[in-house]
Amino acid sequence: MIETNRLILRRPEAADRPPLHAMWADPAVMADLGPVKSVADSDATLARHASYAPLGFWAVVHRENGKTIGFCGLKPGAAETPIAGTLEIGWMLAQPYWGGGYAREAAAASLAWGWANRCEEAIVAITARQNVKSRGLMERLGMMYDPALDFAHPQFAADDPRRDTVTYRIERP
């Protein structure tokens, strides 16, 4: 679907299921994102994203070795949040691929796809306030912090620090 110098972003296939589940079951990967997922939870996530077509998060595949290394793409903002009805970008990578610029490459390609194929005037990204690495990537992508859209994420318990959610926004170029 989308090709970059080092990555292919495409609809998830059956072969992506084990590496994506391994990523979602990794406590380090999920530390700022949510609870670790069971196999059933992973399958439900894949099904939910398939229902967003032509949007949805895509499998991120390393071109050189053919391995599925993450999940990245665009989806509708969740209905129970202030970003409902907006286009949201998100990403996550398996630990061995952290720090190599893959998340930025996949996210930049997803943004470019969004601008070329969608009519929205802006794209947003959300994360836990404590997620410094994702917030830094949002800024490197040209996104601006929008405190007016911060919220308590309903996915998390009231005492969970991940509930404190920040929103970044980028306007159509």
pLDDT at 56 (0 to 100): 87
Summarised one tens digit per residue, pLDDT across range 120-153 is 999 999 999 999 999 999 999 999 999 999 999 9
**Largest CA-CA distance found in the chain, in angstroms, rounded:** 43
Summarised one tens digit per residue, pLDDT across range 25-81 is 999 999 999 999 999 999 999 999 999 888 989 999 999 999 999 999 999 998 889
pLDDT at 4 (0 to 100): 97
Backbone angles phi, psi at 107, to 5 degrees: -65, -45
* C-alpha closest to that of 172 among 88, 105, 116: 116
pLDDT at 85 (0 to 100): 87
Q: HSE (CB half, 13 Å, CA atoms) of 161?
A: 5
Cα dihedral value 58, 62, 66, 72, nearest 10: -10
pLDDT at 1 (0 to 100): 83
pLDDT at 54 (0 to 100): 87
Q: Which residue has 């110098």 as its token pair?
A: 5
**Cα distance between residue 143 and residue 25, in whole Å:** 29
**Cα distance between residue 107 and residue 111, in whole Å:** 6
Summarised one tens digit per residue, pLDDT across range 73-123 is 999 998 889 999 899 999 999 999 999 999 999 999 999 999 999 999 999
pLDDT at 133 (0 to 100): 95
The tokens for 96 are 């061995």
Backbone angles phi, psi at 57, to 5 degrees: -85, 140
The tokens for 139 are 């800024």
Does residue 156 carry a pLDDT above 90? yes
Chain centroid to CA 166: how far? 14
DSSP-assigned states of every residue in 15-70: GGHHHHHHHHT-HHHHTTT-S---HHHHHHHHHHHHTTTTSEEEEEEETTT--EEE
- Asked whether the beta carbons of 92 and 23 are under 8 A apart, the reply is yes
pLDDT at 72 (0 to 100): 97
Cα dihedral 131, 146, 143, 57 sign: positive
